Amino acid sequence: MSKPVVLIAEELSPATVEALGPDFEIRNCNGADRAELLPAIADVDAILVRSATKVDAEALAAARNLKVIARAGVGLDNVDVKAATQSGVMVVNAPTSNIVSAAELAVALMLSAARHVSPAHAALRNGEWKRSKYTGIELYEKTVGIVGLGRIGVLVAQRLSAFGMKVVAYDPYVQAGRAAQMGVRLVDLDTLMAEADFISVHLPKTPETVGLIGTEQLAKAKPSLIVVNAARGGIVDEDALYNALKEGRIAGAGLDVFAKEPCTDSPLFELENVVATPHLGASTDEAQEKAGIAVAKSVRLALSGELVPDAVNVQGGVIAEDVRPGIPLTEKLGRVFTALAGEVAQSVDVEVRGEITEYDVKVLELAALKGVFSDIVEDQVSYVNAPLLAAERGTAVRLVVEGESADHKNLITLRGTLADGNQVSVSGTLVGLNQKERLVEVNGFDVDVELTDHLAFLRYEDRPGIVGILGGILGDAGVNIAGMQVARDAKGGQALVALAVDTAIDAATLAEIQTQINAASVSAANLG
C-alpha cells in the first residue's frame, strides 16, 4: 500500500519533516511559482505552506486528492478557507506557535521607541554622535495599558510587570477577578488612554476593532504616550496616529503591522519618533519550529482520520456523520451568543436535543466554546484551547443532552448567565435536505432567520413605525436588508427585530438606531 503524499511548498523547519515521521512520502516544490505548484499539487494528500504559497480555488481545483492544507503559522490570508471547506479539504494552522515571539517583539518595539534606538542608530551610521538629542525615558514606574488581555496580552503584561511598570488593561471579555490575579487593573478604554504612558495593542481584527484607537481616543492621551501595535494592522488608525505624532500630541510609536501589507511607503516612516518593522511578530527560529511541528502533528491526525483540534474549518474521523453538520451551526451560535451577551458569561449550558443525541455530541460543546471566544480573544481559538479559555475566564460550562425535541428534529441551544444575573439564550437548527442553518430563538423570542454573515438584533418597546425608521437609517447607511423578522412577547410589550443584512452595520449606525427607536439593547454579530 502506497504512503500518503505530503507536499512541502516552502522552506520549513527541519523539525517539520522529523515530526511527520516515516509514514509519508515527502515531496518539495516552490509554492510561490504557480507553474510549479499546480502540477505538483495534483495528486498529493496534504500540502504544507507558510505565507508565500497561495492555495486558492484554482489550486484546489488542480488538487484531486487533497485532504489537508496546513499553514505553518497563524494567519490564513493566503488560503481560501471557504473554497477549501466547499471542496471538503481540511485547513489547519498553528495558533499558538508565535505567541512568545509576538509578545517579545511588542516589548522590543516599546523599548526601542522609549530610547529612540532607531533614529540614534541611523545617526551613528551616518557618522553623527547625538547623545543629547536622543535622551529617552524609562519604563520603570510608568503605566502601560494593554488593549486586549488574551494570551499575547497576558505575556506582555507579565514581562512589563517585571520592568516595574503599573499595568492596566481594557478587555470587556475578561472578568476583573481574573485580571486582578495577574496584578492587572481592568479599566474602560477612555480611562486607559488617559492614564497610560505606553499602550500595547493585542486585539483580534474585527469590524468592531478596526480604527478602535483613532482620533477620539488619541485626543485623550498624555503628550508623552508611546503606542505599540504588534497585533493587526488597522486597529490603530494610521492617519490619526500620524497626525497625533506630527503635531506632538503623543510622543512615539512602535509598529509591526499595517492596514495594508506589504507596506513600504507610509508617511509614518518619515517620522523619527516611529520605529517600524515589517510584520516580524512570528519571525523567530523558535516560532517557525513550533509552527512546523504543530502542523505536522495535525497532518498526521487528519490523514489517519482522527479529530484535529487545530482545524479551522472541518473536523475528521471519529465524529458521527449525523453530528458533523451541527459543528459549524453550533460555532456560529456561540458567536451570536457572545454578540448578544457583550461580556463573558459566568456560566454557559450547551443544550442538545433531538435525534443526534443518539451519538456522542461532546464535540458540539467544544464548537460552542470555540464560537463563544472566537471574537473576543486575540488568540486563534481551537478545540484544544477553548475549554482552557473558559476556565481562565471563570466560565462554568455544562453539556445538556435531551432526546426529546418538541418543534425540531434537532435543536441546539446556548444558554448563559451574566455577571448581573441576566440570561442570554440563542437556539439554532438545520432545515431541509441541504441542512440550512436557521436561528430559531433569541433571548426567549421565537424567530426564523438564516444564519448569514451579518446579523443584528434590536429589542425595544412594541409600537408602530419602528420598521420604517429602521429601514430609513439602514438605507441612508447603504446597508441592504436580506431578511427581517419581528417577534414580541405581547401586544405593546417587548419586541425583538432579528435582521440579516448584506454588509456589517458600523457602530455609528447601530448607535443611531438605538437612539432613534429608544432600543433597550442593540447587538450585531458578524460571522463572515
Residues with catalytic function: 232, 261, 279
The sign of the dihedral angle between the CA atoms of 97, 150, 369, 502 is negative
CA 54/CA 63 separation, integer angstroms: 13
**How many CB atoms lie under 10 A from the CB of residue 358?**
11
CA 26/CA 46 separation, integer angstroms: 10
**How many CB atoms lie under 10 A from the CB of residue 251?**
20
CA 121/CA 141 separation, integer angstroms: 26
The sign of the dihedral angle between the CA atoms of 508, 511, 517, 522 is positive
CA-to-CA dists, residue 403 to 288, 346, 394, 409, 501, angstroms: 46, 26, 29, 10, 34
The sign of the dihedral angle between the CA atoms of 68, 259, 250, 131 is positive
CB contact at 8 A, 287 and 101: yes
Question: Residue 339: which residues within 8 A CB-CB, separation 6 or more?
Answer: 375, 455, 457, 523, 524, 525
CA 134/CA 136 separation, integer angstroms: 6
CA 491/CA 482 separation, integer angstroms: 26
401, three cell numbers: 443532552
In the numeric block, the cell 494552522 is attached to: 93
In the numeric block, the cell 454588509 is attached to: 503
CA 325/CA 420 separation, integer angstroms: 34
In the numeric block, the cell 455544562 is attached to: 398
CB contact at 8 A, 26 and 12: no
